[in-house]
């Protein structure tokens, strides 16, 4: 099995030198295990946090060990009756072409015509569940709300915008980091207005895009975006704090919102969450999302990078904004 390991902990932006590729001889299967040829692996922003040696909701990657993360592949050998050869499975043994472990650690997923297995890492997987839970269970979206989403052309953000519209938002506004992405937001994902945060003045651009203020903010970015949202909120506004990617590779002091008074005077609610605490919503999410995708009410994009040897580049590219929708690596040879 070809596998990618973390060999040193990055400060600021990771570089190729922080990683190495190794070839590992896999032992025979023990009872109740499966061997999987991975088809796709996920690269996700939270993995940057795992490269640091700090306690968090997921433990840090160990140095000189193969990294882990979401992946989907086909079982090629099995000593488990529950997960026979040929099953397509989602599991956590990414960053390698061939994975092996207990069948209890994998989830068998259906093969559906027209839906690539990578969808279980995107629109039918963790990132879309994050959008669903964050919007409905954390921000408590109501009909008629004006919703603002940052990171809106990414895996989570593109789902937030579409789910908001389907669940009755009156106006959906998004921000992203290029003119092409801004065009996608309004032309493909159904946003009512969008702007490029790299043009500057996030607060001013948000005020133009949402002249009557916002009721919900789905925060993927933190920093200046969160500050702008706090200034744009209507009374009883609600923010789902999902991530703060503008700060994941920052060295030194991070910038944060300075206008905290609005939280008090407008009676705002800001709630952080990690999706792992809300997996009880997976069945209702799957039912809704499968119906939406089948009906064409939700469209999704994936940016596919070919080859495990480009997985680190894919991860860094995602952090720099080279993806539209979900960034995945095609590991199948
Ligand atoms: P994306 O697909 O959105 O990819 C990351 C995107 O972040 C890039 O495409 C880039 O788009 C944008 N970005 C990078 N740097 C900046 C910056 N300085 N300012 C603004 N945008 C930036 O990733 P995901 O959808 O997987 O994740 C989105 C967010 O959700 C992250 O913060 C992540 O940590 C969080 N998350 C949280 C979960 C939870 O359980 N709480 C679960 C999953 C994700 P652009 O070109 O627009 O800059």
Predicted local distance difference test score (pLDDT) of residue 256: 83
Domain count across the chain: 2
User: Cβ contacts of residue 264 below 8 Å, gap of 6+?
Assistant: none
Domain containing 186: what range? 126-276
The pLDDT, as a whole number, for residue 29 is: 98
Residue 216 Cα to ligand 1 midpoint, Å, equals 18
Average pLDDT of the chain is 97
Find the length of the chain: 333
- pTM, full prediction: 0.98
- Are 20 and 34 found together in one domain? yes
Q: Are residues 108 and 229 in the same domain?
A: no
The closest-lying atom of ligand 1 relative to the alpha carbon of residue 244 is 32
Q: How far is CA 159 from CA 76, 121, 264, 280, 289, in A?
A: 33, 13, 30, 19, 10
H helices present in 167-299, as ranges: 179-187, 202-209, 223-232, 261-265, 282-295
| Cα-to-centroid distance, 303 and ligand 1 (Å) | 14
* Nearest-angstrom CA–CA distance, 325 and 180: 13
Give the residue among 304, 320, 276, 244 at the shortest CA–CA distance from 42.
304
- Does a structural domain hold residue 295? no
- β-pairing, 146-149 vs 214-219, is parallel
Is ligand 1 within 6 A of the CB of residue 100?
no
Ligand 1 and 323: CB distance under 6 A: yes
Residue 241 belongs to a domain: yes
Cα 121 from Cα 41, distance rounded (Å):
8
Could you tell which of 220, 241, 274, 324 is best to mutate to test the pocket of ligand 1, judged by most ligand atoms within 8 Å of the CB?
220
CB 299 within 8 A of CB 305: no
Kindly tell me if the per-residue pLDDT of 55 is higher than 90.
no
Is the C-alpha dihedral spanning 229, 234, 235, 239 positive or negative?
negative
Q: Is residue 232 in contact with ligand 1, taking CB distance under 6 Å?
A: no
Q: What is the CATH number of the domain that holds 170?
A: 3.40.50.720
327 pLDDT band, cuts 50/70/90, is very high
Question: Are 267 and 137 part of one and the same domain?
Answer: yes
Is residue 22, in this structure, part of any structural domain at all?
Answer: yes
Digit-coded pLDDT (tens) for 175-223:
999 999 999 999 999 999 999 999 999 999 999 999 999 999 999 999 9
Same domain for 144 and 267, yes or no, is yes
Please answer whether residues 9 and 51 qualify as being in contact, where contact means their C-beta atoms are separated by less than 8 angstroms: yes
Within-domain flag for 227: yes
Q: Are residues 165 and 33 in the same domain?
A: no
Which of 125, 134, 135, 151 to mutate for ligand 1's pocket (most ligand atoms within 8 Å of CB)?
151
CATH at residue 43 = 3.90.180.10
Phi, psi of 295 (to 5 degrees): -80, -5
């Amino acid at each position: 099995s070809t596998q990618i390991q973390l060999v040193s902990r990055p400060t600021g932006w990771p570089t190729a030198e922080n990683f190495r590729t190794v070839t590992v001889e896999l032992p025979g299967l023990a009872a109740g295990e499966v061997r999987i040829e991975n088809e796709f692996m996920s690269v996700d922003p939270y993995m940057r946090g795992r490269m640091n040696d700090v306690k968090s909701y997921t433990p840090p990657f160990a140095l000189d060990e193969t990294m882990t993360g979401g992946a989907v592949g086909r079982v090629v050998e099995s000593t488990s009756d529950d997960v026979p050869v040929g099953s397509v499975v989602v599991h956590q043994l990414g960053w390698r072409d061939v994975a092996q472990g207990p069948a209890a650690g994998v989830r068998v997923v259906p093969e559906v015509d027209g839906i690539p297995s990578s969808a279980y890492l995107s629109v039918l997987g963790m990132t879309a569940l994050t959008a669903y839970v964050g919007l409905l269970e954390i921000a408590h979206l109501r009909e008629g709300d004006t919703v603002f989403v940052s990171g809106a052309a990414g895996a989570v953000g593109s789902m937030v915008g579409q789910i908001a519209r389907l669940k009755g938002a009156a106006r959906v506004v998004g921000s992203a980091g290029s003119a092409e992405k801004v065009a996608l937001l309004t032309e493909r994902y159904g946003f009512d207005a969008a702007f490029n945060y790299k043009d500057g003045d996030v607060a001013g651009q948000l005020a133009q895009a949402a002249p009557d203020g916002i009721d919900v903010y789905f925060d993927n970015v933190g920093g200046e975006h969160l500050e702008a949202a706090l200034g744009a909120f209507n009374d009883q506004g609600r923010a789902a704090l999902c991530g703060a990617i503008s700060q994941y590779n920052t060295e030194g002091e991070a910038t944060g919102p300075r206008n905290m008074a609005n939280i008090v005077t407008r009676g705002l609610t800001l709630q952080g969450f990690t999706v792992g605490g809300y997996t009880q919503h997976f069945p209702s999410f799957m039912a809704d999302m499968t119906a939406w995708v089948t009906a064409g009410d939700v469209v999704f994009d994936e940016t596919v990078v070919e080859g495990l040897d480009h997985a680190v580049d894919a991860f860094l590219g995602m952090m720099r904004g080279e993806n539209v929708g979900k960034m995945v690596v095609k590991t199948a040879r």
